[in-house]
Amino acid sequence: MSILHLGIWRKVGLRFGISLVGAGSLWMILYSSSGSSPAETREVLRAVADVPLPGPAVRFDYQSLNALNGRLYIAHMNADQLVVFDTNKRQVVANLDGFHRVHGVLAVPELERVFASATGDHQVAVVDQETLKILARVGEIKYPDGLAYAPSVQRLFVSDEHGNADAVIDATTNTMVTSIPLGGGAGNTVYDSGADRIYVAVHGKNELVTIDPLRAKITARTPLTWLDDPHGIALDVENRLAFVAGEGNNKLVVVDLKNMQVGPPFSVGRDPDVLAFDNGTKRLYVAAESGHVFVFHEANRTLEPEGELHLPHGHTVAVDPKTHLIYFPLEDVNGKPVLRIMEFAGANVR
């Protein structure tokens, strides 16, 4: 490393409160580990801001961004709280109690509602977007986790991970409609607006299940032979692609939704959890329980690896489709939880 680089990273170390040794570690964190020399490596993501978050330094889970008002909702799982963050002002506007072991969260602007899976209570909580008051609690659901909303039928689909099912809730009456047996543990559940379909990753059976939201019936099962215990899903609705990660074998595949063909696997971090896709940049972020975040670019109906980085407990990620900023709630940075805001760098370092 040159004297110039040492000076730069000394400043970075001071900014983040770490020593020169720590700054050297940050160099390795922020740059892809391609085995090339520092002069040939590429910066993947750069930190824009670290914003303090309320509550104890314990685990976070899913996030959901309402792009219309810039509100980011963050499940502070082991604090039993739902954090409301204003992305425009970069400040926390509320920290809501009453969400026992909250896992999933989903903002639905057209209903002016936020849904959160209070897994510890086996319920889904319904929150008013304006007052931030809990309007209803719906359940019994054995282990509510991921959430998806189908506007065509105004129904919420809930991953019942340990119940081996997808629960269906009427979002207009806040009542249970049915539960759809999957034959295995429910991974993430997502809605495809291009085909008006729900997709669920199914553990054990290693399948991507397709559900008709009106009939609340399974219409197809796609084998994911490259994956072990598929869990995280993200969609490129425009180009008709699904990205699915296997938490059991640390692999990622692309599913062509036009013909349900599955492409060859890519390696990702250990125990991949949350995926986020930026439709504007065609960039996919795969965050794993190991803290490794892999960045890919979609091209020619497949993915091109762009690099990786490591963040402490960085297993959950969200991306703003307007600003293209990436959000990582980190449970413990110097003993405090923070929201790390990052941007794609992409320029070669010389």
In whole angstroms, give the CA distance from residue 236 to residue 195. 12
Q: What is the pLDDT of residues 52-89, one digit of tens each?
A: 999 999 999 999 999 999 999 999 999 999 999 999 99
Amino acid at 23: A
pLDDT value, residue 70: 97
pLDDT string in tens for the chain (350-residue length): 333 333 333 333 433 333 333 333 333 333 333 333 333 346 799 999 999 999 999 999 999 999 999 999 999 999 999 999 999 999 999 999 999 999 999 999 999 999 999 999 999 999 999 999 999 999 999 999 999 999 999 999 999 999 999 999 999 999 999 999 999 999 999 999 999 999 999 999 999 999 999 999 999 999 999 999 999 999 999 999 999 999 999 999 999 999 999 999 999 999 999 999 999 999 999 999 999 999 999 999 999 999 999 999 999 999 999 999 999 999 999 999 999 999 999 743 32
Q: What are phi and psi of 88, to 5 degrees?
A: -75, -45
The maximal CA–CA distance of the chain, rounded, in angstroms, is 65
Predicted pLDDT at 240: 98
Q: What is the pLDDT of residue 43?
A: 79
**Cα(308)–Cα(82) distance, rounded to whole angstroms?**
29
Structure tokens, 306: 């762009």
Q: φ, ψ for residue 340 (rounded to 5)?
A: -90, 120
Q: How confident is the prediction for the chain on average, in pLDDT?
A: 89
- The distance of Cα 306 from the centroid of its chain, to the nearest Å, equals 18
pLDDT at residue 42, as a whole number = 64
Q: Is 213 left (phi over 0), alpha (psi -120 to 50) or beta?
A: alpha
Cβ(283)–Cβ(298) under 8 Å? yes
Output the pTM of the full model. 0.88
| Number of residues written out for the chain | 350
The pairing of beta strand 251-256 with beta strand 326-333: unpaired
Containing H/E element for 46?
strand 45-52
Helix/strand/coil for 227: coil
Radius of gyration of the chain, Cα coordinates, nearest whole angstrom? 20
Q: 89 Cβ partners below 8 Å, 6+ apart?
A: none
Q: Where are the domains of the chain?
A: 1-30, 42-57+230-350
* CA nearest to 190, candidates 130, 251, 231, 135: 231
Looking at domain 42-57+230-350, its CATH class is mainly beta
Q: How far is it, in rounded angstroms, from Cα 188 to Cα 168?
A: 14
